[in-house]
Structure 1
Amino acid sequence: MSTALQRVIGGESWAAYCEGLKAAGETILRADAPDSLLDRAEGWRLLSRYARLGLQMMLEFADPDFPVFYAASDDTIKVFLPNPDNLYCNATIAGDREYRVHGRRGSVAYLSFGTKANRYAIDGTMASTGELEAKEMRIDADGRFELLLSARPQPGNWLPMAADSSMLIVRQTFLDRRTETAAELHIECLSAPSAPAPLSAAALDAGLTRALAFVQGTAKLVADWAAWVAQHPNQLAAAPYVAASMRVGGDPKICYYHGYWRLAPDEALLIETEVPDCPYWNFQLANHWLESLDCQHRRVHLNKHDARLNPDGSLTLLIAAEDVGVGNFIDSDHHAQGGMLLRWVGADAHPQPRCRVVKLDALRHRAR
């Protein structure tokens, strides 16, 4: 009897998964993590969300012969500062196979495809192995397209893969969800058998092991990143984080300005910057665990379409617990600290934002 078979029959696979989830809780209790009720509760919820995503990614949708698109980030699963303007579609792939993606372009402002070597469960990285934007593709007049994924070059629309490519990520970025339509996407493996094999002991045991490693590794990655960026609070910077952003799955066409905000109840963070010529930009707030805040009910992010620019074309953002009528208000949503991120996408320049903490009373007087 194989080891995996013994572990599944005897229940050790499941027991190890559950014990590992319990151990992952030590990340939430780290000394460098905030211990308020809200921050602690969101930390425990984070682990429950990662557990759900880990099982989807490593067990439910893990067959590279029968890939399907699923959302690795949505309104309730938020891994490492996901863009609230994005619709994320992920699919499991393997570098020794070839795939066909087809559908309609839609009208989203930005559409990109990327193959990744997903090592979140190993070392917290997600290396890029191929990138392609919709504007670089051949698309029919009615919006239909076909895209081939493979390690060997292909004619037409081709997205490169590497031997260790394991994930396809599609980013659809909306400027205005009320008027834009999402792309229609389908994926198939070109060498798949006629039907999936029954669930085996090896697949279940390995899936649970990888799902647990994803929870533990990703939680540690997020906690480490938050602690790192928090060393320089209330500032936005790109240079220190460029390489790290790419290692965790960032889009190379995007310039990311990371930061960590921390405010007292009577304070606000004023951010001022020039705005480059680019098809899309946005700014967002997150909690300590780098989950984007509640964009469904509060104004916790802003993009090019919604922003009010100053007469000289510059941008002023105000992070605070209340709107005092200065600049573009970004609601801190009952939080006292957390991550923040500014993205310039396809920009001709990358201006450095200027950040300073100000008293709300002073801003109230200024707004009169």
Structure 2
Amino acid sequence: SGGSCYGGGCSGGSSYDGGGGYSGGSNYGGRTATPEPEPEPDPNPMATLRPVLKALVQTEKYFGKGRTLLLCPFTLRGIAELESRMSSKDYCPVALAMGWPKFPNDPTQVNRGKPSCKAKPCAHWYALQQHADKQGGVHSTALCSPVYGREDDDDDEEDGRERELHALLADVLRGIRAAPVQTFGRKADEQAFSVVIPWPPLLFLEELKRDEKGQELNSSSLLLQAFKKHGPVTGYPIYCPGFQGRAVLEFRKSREGLEQAKAFLENSLADRESRKLRAFQSRWVNEADWNKWKSQSWAKKLMKISVEFCQKDAKEREMREVARMKEDENQRLIARKQEEAAKATEEKQVAQAEQERLQVELTQREAAEQQVRAELRQKEEELRQVREVSSRQGEEHQRRGQQMSQ
């Protein structure tokens, strides 16, 4: 229970029935007043919330220069902030329409209703914009995933309300900072950079700070050492006149190099949004930069690069097509190798079967030959026995003839 008052300075008890309905009563001067009518759900809560959200995100906490973590306004703590900025007659119908707690600032009442988001606090404005775009499905390629930790993720109506709320927040944030629509899963939208890019990818860095050892990044080796995790192939410090914290980074002339350059831009933008100590500015080198540097002595080595300026989207399509063709070729090679391996296996199996057949035939032939030899030996033995019998009979006959002649 908690105290509430509609339209006057009174105190009393109120309750939330757990099913989305509110009831409230008031007591004035010791007399029981007529129960106030139950509020109806706001038929257009988004229109009611828009000016409140706009006022909230323009406060020092959100829009200032501090390092405070930013809450999504539709988490429990965020709803409490919204409730503190709205009158009861405005907040209660919105809370009823959204299923939010009627008294989000009262620990005993927060379980009567639930927030529309359970995301963790965002580190900076940019992260909040990305969260709103992602959950609101702002970009056409964004997949509207449900909020993690929800027990009723299958509730299409609640998921729809969540998407609408986050889409509203994304629209309000972009309206204030003119931020571009974010692509799901990316740290910065590519539209924040020039649509014309140099090829190979070249990035122009400004406001470079000293490294951890206090050294200026005024040589190619120091630049590569400082940014080696981002994949540049070389760096060109700019001396015009002297080193003033400016340089050019060159990336590989490939799809991987282009992705590394884009990631570098996104990270540097995120660092500046979060106001990191050594944040710097970065952008694509443009034709005006290139033409200006042609006459400057520091750029002699840089000018040895054959550079063309092209549309980023066209180059990305070309790189995707090259990657697709390469992948197709790899798949063909894999299929060919698999086919050759299958053919070799089949030939091996055929050869093995033939060898086994020949072995069986040889065994059978040897067995037949052994049987023939056995039969021959048996016949020879029989002939020998016949010859012995004949010989004995002849000898006996001759002996008898001799006896008769005597």
TM-score after normalising by structure 2? 0.22
Q: Which has the higher strand share?
A: 1
- Identify which of structures 1 and 2 has the higher relative contact order when contacts are C-alpha pairs closer than 8 Å and 6+ apart: 1
Q: Which has the higher helix share?
A: 2
Q: Highest Rg: 1 or 2?
A: 2
TM-score after normalising by structure 1? 0.23
